Every structure is written in C-alpha cells, then in structure tokens.
Chain A
C-alpha cells in the first residue's frame, strides 16, 4: 500500500510540474515581426563552401518598416537550414512554437542592438553539417524574448541560399591506428587457436 501511495504522490508531483512548466512556453514564431531587420549573407565564393575554411560576410540593419524597435536590446544571428536540408530529418524541423523550433541551431554571433548597420565576417565552424542554409537575425528584448527577425532569404526560403560541405572528420593517424589494432586482434586469436590445437594433439598422442 505504501508503494501505491508514494507512486501516486510522485505522479501528482509530475503532473504539477507539467502544468506549471507548460504555461510559459506559448511564444510563437508567427507572432514575431517579419522583416524588421534587413539581413544579407554573402559567401566568400560561389561554389559549395567548405566548413572550417570558407567565410560568410553578414550584414544587418534596421529595416524602414520596423515598428518594435524600442524593445530591441540584443541581436542574435543564426545559421538556419533551408527546407531541402530538412527533408526526412525531423530533428531539424521548423515549428511555430519558438522553444520547439529546431531549424536554426547554429549560433553565429550575438551583439547588443545598435541603430547603425552592422556587419560580421563569419568563418564556418568545423561542426557545421553538410547542407543548404540561410542566415536569420532575431531581435531580442530585455527579457530574452524574441520580438522580431530578419533573414537573408525570402519568406518561402528559396532565394539566396548557400551550400556547405562539412569536414569529413577522418584523419590518417586514425586510419593507421585502426588497421594496427585490427590486425593485432585477429593475430592474437589465431595464435591462441593454433597453439591450443597443437597442445591437444600432443595430449592425444601421449
């Protein structure tokens, strides 16, 4: 009985957590002011960019159509997946609820808001996966809530996209170590096996 009671109590506590937690998570992407910032992202070369080597020239400035400018305290610039890189990859899904949205996981830079046009030279990090991207800048208020954004592509996310090729992660030293250990493993087994067969034969002939 005591077990039933404590299980029920813990379930109740869990439910309470759930309810209290849920109340604060309703901020939606569709509520944000679109196009409040004009963002451009120019790749250092026209072909597929290499992670870890190639750069992006990113600029952002206040758009003439912006209305919520008074609330801007920080600008967060992020690298986002284009729709083609989200196909069959639910871990990169675009969701309206901001806390659930996974389409912009890579942080480029965070800067305090400045009225004048800003720019940044971004070298693609070595953990950026292969894919097609655009750049988005969120304007964040003092409470760390997003209020507006601007992106380097259109609303359908089809123009001004650029492709990145990730590093392979392989290295010659790894390859060599791998071969050495593998050979050792197989050899050790063979040596034992052959040795024991020989000993058994000797036993039998005795």
Chain B
C-alpha cells in the first residue's frame, strides 16, 4: 500500500515535505484503500476531501471540474467582449452621437460602475443559488442591453446602455466562485489565474474583433453610422449561446447541482445576513477591495481608453489602434495565470507571506510602467511600456486571487464579489478623475493613474493572518490562534458550531495547511484532532 514517493509512511522522512495527506477521505492514485462505492472514484481527476480537483488539466473537458473551468472562463470572456465592445468603435460612435470628451469619459465610467453592484449581488447569488445560475443570469439578462445599442441616438442613451451592459461583468465573480469550489487550494492560484486571465483577454480580443466586424459590415454596404450598431449583435449572440451552454453542460458543485444537493440535505443553506456580516467584518476584504481597484481597475480603464489614445495621439488607423490595444488585453492569456502560478510557487516556499509579497511586487512594477506609458512620446516606446505594464498589472490580478480564497470560507462568494466590485470601483474612479475632463491630456492621465496605483498598493502590507503571518510580521505564536481551524471556525457562532454547520470550514482549514511556509511545516507534525489518519 505504501508508495515509494517521498514522505509516505515507512520512510523516515514522514512529515518533512508537508505534502502528506493528513485527512482520511482523499484519494491518492497509488492508494489501494478505495471501496467500490467510494464517491470519489467517479471523478476523472484526483480530488481532495471536499471533492475538489487537485490537478489542473487545461486541455481536458472532463465533468465536472474542467468543464466548469472552461464554461466559467468562456462566459467571463464573452462578457468582457460585450462590456468593452464600444471602446474601439468610439471614434465612429462619437461622430454618430455627437459626443464630447466628457460624454465619452462618463460612458466609460458608467460601463464599469454597474458591475460594482452586480458583482456584490453575484457573490450572494452564487452562495445561495449556485454558480451556474449566477453565470447564466448575468449572460442572458444583459444580452438585451447589448442588442439595445441599435436604439441609441445621443449621449444619454449611450451612457445608459453602456451602464446596463456593464452589469454582466458580474460573471467574473461567478467564474472565480465556480473554480474555487471545483479546485483545491494548492492549485487555486493557477486555476483562478487562468480563468481570470483568459476571461480578461476578452477585453483585448474585443479591440480586434469589433473593428474587424465593423469593417466587414461596411464592406457589405452599410454606412459607418449603421455598421457599428449591427456590429453589436455579435457580442449579444455570443452571450446567449454561451448562456445556454452553461445551463446545459455545467454543474454547480463537484457532487451535483446546488438545488438537488440542497433539497437532498447534503449542502446546508446558509443565511445571507451571516454570510454578508462575516465578509464585511473582515478588514482583509476591504484591503483586497482597494488593491483590486488598482490592478483590475486600471486594466478596465485601459480597455476603455487605450484604443482611442493610440488612434488620437499616434494617428493610427482604427484597425491598427485596435491591434495595439488588443495586445494589452491579450497579454492576459499568460500574464494572469503566471501571476497565479507565481503566487502558488511563492506559497510553496514561503507560505502565505510569499503570496503577499508577490502581489505587492507585481502590482507596483506594473504601475511604474503605467507611469512610463504616459510619458512615452514615440510609438515603439509606448508599445513597449504598455506591454510591460500589462504583464505586471495582470500578474498582480492573478496573484491577488491566490490570496482571496483564503480570507474566508463561509463568505467566499461574497468576498469574491466585493473584491471584484473593488476592481470596478477603481476603474470608475480612475476614469472619472483622469479621463473624463479636458483638464489632463490622456497621456498625463495615464501617468497620474500609475502613480495613484503605486500608492494604493501599499496597504497589502497590512494583511495579516494569525496562522500564517503577513509581509513583515511572523505568524502568531499563540498555540490556539496559530491554527487554521481557529481562523476559519471563528466565522461561526458557538450555536452553529454545536449544530455542526462549520464542518465544511474545518475541512477547508485542513486543506489550507499548505499555506504555511516550508520552515514552519518542518517543525510541525500535524496531529488531526477529530480523525485518525488512515496510515496508522
């Protein structure tokens, strides 16, 4: 039964690598203790005690884990396409609707503001109805708003429609929530990074897609002022199609759909007020809110302004400006997963402290390159600065979602929602401050935004976990508070603990021991209090 891998019982190194299994119900591919009716046997990928996949195989579409991953990121990708579909076409739209710079800027703010509320709501919807319906609601209820661009005649209508389309960015929360319940904590940085990054790519793809679609429609004979309206049907279509796919092919949880599991009593329904309270009470939520506002926030702002910036400042053609702008968003394909992966790697070496440092480094470096982008007056330098800026900022986004799943177990959905909302809030704020008036040129606006981002990344130093430490402080030496179980079960009242409602959090706490640094794991031989290990 004992495999030859380092760390299994029988070798004198047991406990050293901190990767041994200390819980009784996980599946190891070499273990022979499977019973024929073991529920974990039906999964294609190896899973942990919560039936979350421990391995990430991006090329697979296996039910339920990888399928959820792909549906999640594709939904999010589609929403990004819709939300920023107007941006590369602004030079045409501003002529059709007689917009001023203020109108364009305000619509940009509106396009990201709607999602502040919808992302908050989405967190709750996911906790209560499941990720599938969260995603489908977002996609299929905002598709009408995308189609309604055909009715717009002036700045007010334009702003209203962009505001309503922006609601669909809530799919970010449902996507991250979905992956967080499907994948184990050790790989969650990479998985969330890939899902978030490939979804964010939509903001880049739209800068290429919309001018191309516009061009094709014009070649088919439409005037420019009608062609851009027809072009909006493409993102609308995509949303409906993907929404249907999510509902037919997806599954809320590894064990089934939420409504079925709830009715059969396997998953207990939680109270929204409790979920909300514990999310809001945790100060780390708010620091993540600000941080994300200046990584994803400036990324969203750039999606809105960068195409117009290159079109106006460097006199590029609409399609060329679109290609340059697209490279910003497309860098997400590898930059955000890289950030998540770097976070996971840092966690393996230094635990949670490593994750926090990586986050700070990426975000600050990205912001510094943003300052440079505003200063660049020649096209090649501007493109170079923009690419470096995009990698830094997007990696920071990935790294942040390597930290977020550990802030709370009970309120995971709402915290994803609040953090996501922070991203939109940051975007709305920066667009309002720097890109909606003629006070600053767009170039100056970019540099000022970068400077503000450097400042607003400093709060990451204040995130402290008693069981794992923070950037500058060690973990608590108190015997009780230094345990993961203490942190996660403190989200439940004594009454709820007596009812056993916190069992999920305890399982999660055990699985999260991976966030201790290697040095701590060496000194600590985990002794599970409530279960006996199978290896005894």
Chain A 97-122 interface 0/1 with B at a Cβ cutoff of 8 Å (1 = within): 00110000000000000000000000
- CB contacts under 8 Å to B, within A133-187, are 166-171, 174-175, 177-179, 181-186
Number of contact residues on A: which range applies?
35 or more
- Give the interface centre of B136, B148, B247 by most chain A CB atoms within 10 Å: B247
Question: In the complex, what residues of A have CB within 8 A of residue B151's CB?
Answer: 170, 175, 178
Residues of A within 8 A of B247 (CB): 189, 192
Known contacts A127-B223, A166-B96, A167-B223: does B378 contact A204 (CB below 8 Å)?
A: no
Residue pair A188, B243 in contact (C-beta under 8 Å) = yes
B438 contacts the other chain (Cβ, under 8 Å)? yes
Interface of B, secondary structure class, is helix
A174 in contact with B150 given A11-B381, A14-B380 (CB within 8 Å): yes
Mark each residue of chain A from 47 to 58: 1 if its CB lies under 8 Å from any CB of chain B, else 0. Answer: 000001000000
Contact B144 A126 (CB under 8 A): no
> Closest residue of chain A to B218, judged by CB?
A127
- A203 vs B380: C-alpha distance when bound (angstroms): 62
Knowing A10-B384, A188-B240, A192-B136, say if A174 contacts B226 (CB, 8 Å). yes
B313: min CB distance to chain A, Å: 10
Q: How far is the CB of B162 from chain A (nearest CB, A)?
A: 16
Contact of A4 with B by CB under 8 A: no
Q: Is the CB of B384 within 8 A of A166?
A: no
**B244 interface residue per 8 A CB criterion:** yes
- Which residue of B226, B233, B257, B438 is within 8 Å of A169 (Cβ)? B226
Tier of interface size on chain B: 35 or more
Q: Is the CB of A200 within 8 A of B91?
A: no
- Residues of B within 8 Å of A13, CB to CB, are 380
Q: How far is the CB of A83 from chain B (nearest CB, A)?
A: 14
Known A17-B380, A181-B233, A185-B239: A196·B96 in contact at CB below 8 Å: no
Q: Which of B74-103 contact A (CB under 8 A)?
A: 91, 94-96, 98, 100-102
Q: Check B148–A126 contact: CB distance below 8 A.
A: no
Give the CA-CA distance A142 to B61 in the complex, in Å: 64
Report if B406 contacts A (CB, 8 A): no
Give Cα distance in the complex from A8 to B140, angstroms: 49
Pick out which of these stretches binds chain B: A26-34, A35-43, A67-75, A86-94. A86-94
B100 contacts A87, CB within 8 Å? yes
Q: Given A170-B153, A188-B243, A189-B141, do A181 and B237 touch, yes or no (CB 8 Å)? A: yes
Query: In the assembly, what is the distance between CA of A174 and CA of B247, in Å?
Result: 28
Q: Is A197 an interface residue (CB 8 A)?
A: yes
A203 to B102 CA separation, bound complex (whole angstroms): 55
Which B residues are CB-close (under 8 A) to A185? 140-141, 143-144, 236, 239-240, 243
Shortest beta-carbon distance from A177 to chain B in Å: 7
Q: Which 3 A-B pairs have the closest CB atoms?
A: A169-B225, A182-B144, A129-B95
Contact surface of B with A, Cβ cutoff 8 Å: 91, 94-96, 98, 100-102, 133, 136-137, 140-141, 143-144, 147-148, 150-151, 153, 223-226, 228-230, 233, 236-237, 239-240, 243-244, 247, 257, 259-260, 263-264, 308, 311-312, 315, 377-378, 380-381, 384, 438, 441
Q: List 19 A-B contacts (CB under 8 A).
A: A11-B381, A14-B381, A17-B380, A129-B94, A129-B95, A131-B98, A167-B223, A168-B153, A169-B226, A170-B150, A170-B226, A174-B229, A175-B150, A185-B144, A186-B140, A186-B141, A189-B247, A197-B259, A203-B264
Chain A residues close to B by CB (< 8 Å): 10-11, 13-15, 17-18, 21, 52, 87-91, 99-100, 126-127, 129-131, 166-171, 174-175, 177-179, 181-186, 188-189, 192-193, 196-197, 200-201, 203-204
